[in-house]
Amino acid sequence: MRLAETFGNIPLRRFNSMILEQFQTDRLSMGKKPATVNRLIATISHMFTKAVEWDMVEEETLKRIRKVKLLPENNRRLRYLSTEECQRLIDSCDSHLKPIVVTALNTGMRKDEILGLKWDNVDLKAGFILLNQDQTKNSERKEIHISPTFLETLKTLPKREDVPHVLYNPLTGKRYDNVKRSFNTALKRAGIKDFRFHDLRHTFASHLVMAGIDITTVKELLGHKDLKMTLRYSHLAPSHKLKAIVTLDKILTQQPAIQKLYNSKVANNE
């Protein structure tokens, strides 16, 4: 949706909060998410900021624009696959997509990290992948350990001296830029709905937590800078709270050795 198609015929000085609030309502009724609408409003606000700097409109118009409140967002979506769904998805993938999905499920890597992965990043003998700063979202180097299943997948991938990437199109010799179409096809074959490629990363993290792996370790494996990002998975491990309480109970009720000996003698009438 291009903003020019909606607002192209409206003079700058006529813009006000009512026009933009109606725009918000219209976009929501079209099924757009609050986050998407907020990005559009932010873009419009920035455009008017520049317009004031360039003397194209008075500052009073910008003040009217800034009165528009952003919509509340709820971006904490957490969708993950069961182990049975994971296998169904893998079995439903085309040959080029299967190693990509296996990589995502076994490493938690982001799509761009996977598609941009090069053999120079992979150390099969040591069993890890080292992503450089220019290959990660947060611009920090990241070390990823290779699981046995993922190792077997890597060993089956063909290598070409003229192609640096691990995953590439054999017809062109170039890396894949997008696998959305083939991924959606695999989802339909597997009967999986309401699922995105990024949710493979959620699946990786969710199963780690449900297996009892602590949140700090999951944070490191995902490459999160802030623990808050990882805490979204904490509710999947309610047992860790019970374990903590039981451990504390044992500590608090533990009696000194001399007291235990005395209680034993009393019990035996010694």
Q: Is the pLDDT of residue 86 over 90?
A: yes
How far is C-alpha 84 from the geometric centre of its chain's CA atoms? 21
List the beta bridge partners of residue 175: 168
Q: Is the pLDDT of residue 36 over 60?
A: yes
Four-way CATH pick for 83-236: 3.40.630.30, 3.40.50.720, 1.10.443.10, 3.40.50.10540 = 1.10.443.10
Using a cut of 0.85, tell me whether the model's pTM lies above it. no
Nearest CA to 105 out of 186, 207, 176 is that of: 207
Q: How many CB atoms lie within 10 A of CB 96?
A: 15
- The DSSP secondary-structure symbol of 56 reads S
Tens digit of pLDDT for each residue in 106-126?
999 999 999 999 999 999 989
**Does residue 241 register a pLDDT over 70?**
no
Establish how many alpha carbons lie within 13 A of residue 41's alpha carbon, considering only the half-sphere containing its beta carbon: 28
Mean pLDDT of the chain: 85
Question: Measured between alpha carbons, how far is residue 57 from residues 11, 20, 147, 163, 247 in Å?
Answer: 10, 17, 59, 53, 66
Give dist(CA 63, CA 57) in Å, integer.
11
Q: What is the pLDDT of residue 75?
A: 56
Q: What is the pLDDT of residue 191?
A: 96
The domain spans of the chain are 3-66, 83-236, 238-270
